[in-house]
């Protein structure tokens, strides 16, 4: 499994707009791709702004290419998202999952 990570910052007033964009636009697009395994949107409050951190899980780099095209290191940021972000990474990072444990409730 591969985890793809990306980070951005938004104003406090726009953090809900970014979360809504992620839920309404990004998740459905990802769910339509064979090999997509899951995603998480994390948020951290900073003075006067919020940092967002996105983790997506994929079965393979080939599955990521369906989403990101041939330059898989380049961040995929829709204009709607860029409009509410103060700053964001132009590149992403990929990590191979070596070990993972989930705990059932």
**Which residues, in sequence order, are CB contacts of 26 under 8 Å at separation 6+?**
39, 78, 81
Please classify residue 60 by burial: count the beta carbons closer than 10 Å to its beta carbon, then call 0-12 exposed, 13-18 middle and 19+ buried: exposed
Q: Which of 4, 27, 14 minimizes the C-alpha distance to 75?
A: 4
What global pTM score does this model have? 0.90
CB contact at 8 A, 29 and 79: no
Give residue-wise pLDDT tens across range 75-102: 999 999 999 999 999 999 999 999 999 8
Q: How confident is the model at residue 105 (pLDDT cuts 50, 70, 90)?
A: low
Ordered structural domains, the chain, with CATH = 2-96 (3.30.70.100)
Distance CA 95, CA 100 (A): 12
């Amino acid at each position: 499994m591969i985890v793809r990570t990306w980070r951005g910052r938004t104003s406090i007033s726009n953090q809900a707009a970014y979360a809504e964009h992620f839920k309404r636009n990004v998740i459905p697009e990802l769910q339509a791709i064979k090999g997509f395994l899951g995603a998480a949107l994390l948020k951290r409050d900073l003075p006067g702004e919020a940092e967002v951190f996105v983790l997506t899980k994929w079965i393979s780099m080939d599955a990521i290419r369906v989403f990101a095209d041939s330059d898989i290191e380049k961040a995929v940021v829709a204009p709607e998202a860029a409009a509410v972000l103060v700053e964001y990474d132009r590149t992403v990072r990929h990590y191979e999952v070596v070990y993972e444990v989930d705990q059932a409730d």
